[in-house]
Amino acid sequence: MADYHFVYKDVEGTSTQWDDIQRKLGNLPEKPPAFKPPPFVPAEDEDSKPKDKSWIDSKTHDELEDLEDDLDDDRFLEEYRKKRLSEIREAAKVAKFGSIIRISGSDFIREVSQASPEIWVVVILYKEGFAACEMLMGCLEELARRYPATKFVKIISTDCIPNYPDCNLPTLLVYNNGAVKANYVGLSNFGRRCTPEGVALVLCHSDPVLNDGQSSSDSSRRSVLDGESKRLIEKFVAERENAEDDGASSD
């Protein structure tokens, strides 16, 4: 048998006269406030946002390319968009390397002699198991990370020059525009203590071998020399302080 009983509900927020009287007498709790939906706030449209430098700086290379038509009517932002694209492309050119590339004898002409004229190439001739080679290689690995616009390559000495004497290892060759600009035979060229900073100062003594790929050759070379000199001094001071601390703690 069907159950026809149901509970009648009035519109939310309404009450009877009897309920109102009971509330005045304190027999019923206060009537809850009627529900009100939050005010409508339209979603912010990307196109409605103000377009300024920060808005353009947040865009990727592909997004900047797509903005060409949208900014045609705003000369300033269009010029700024072109400037940002140029900066992104230049930054991509700089970050070409960043590590030491291992090559064989057959790769030498293509990777070194025929490298682009604007690229400086540092070549280390080495052999496995030579402590001096390992020490210099460690310095070059650090410099390769600091200066990714400079190309660093390594090649087994006898693969590069048949019968090359082991007593000359390690040897550094510096190439630019297809020509040898400098060569350093043996570890003694880099002082009693072979450090990345010391090697950088030697490499940039007369040429902008290490550069950021953006500044002019002269300013880049001066920047590297100043930066590496500062690093060398800071490292020396830190080592002296550590040595004094160790001496004081042992007393």
201-236 pLDDT tens trace: 999 988 999 975 555 456 677 778 788 888 888 877
- Spatial CB neighbours of 148, under 8 Å, sequence gap ≥ 6: 94, 95, 96, 97, 98, 213
User: Residue 64's pLDDT is what?
Assistant: 65
Map tokens 């309404």 to a residue.
14
By CB atoms closer than 10 A (0-12, 13-18, 19+), residue 197 is: buried
Domains and CATH numbers, the chain: 56-86 (no CATH), 100-235 (3.40.30.10)
DSSP 37-81: PPPP-PPPPGGGS---HHHHHTS-HHHHHHTTTTTTT-HHHHHHH
Kindly report, residue by residue over 164-203, the tens digit of the pLDDT. 999 999 999 999 999 999 999 999 999 888 999 999 999 9
Mean predicted confidence (pLDDT) in 119-133: 96
d(CA 148, CA 78) in angstroms, rounded, equals 31
DSSP state of 124: E
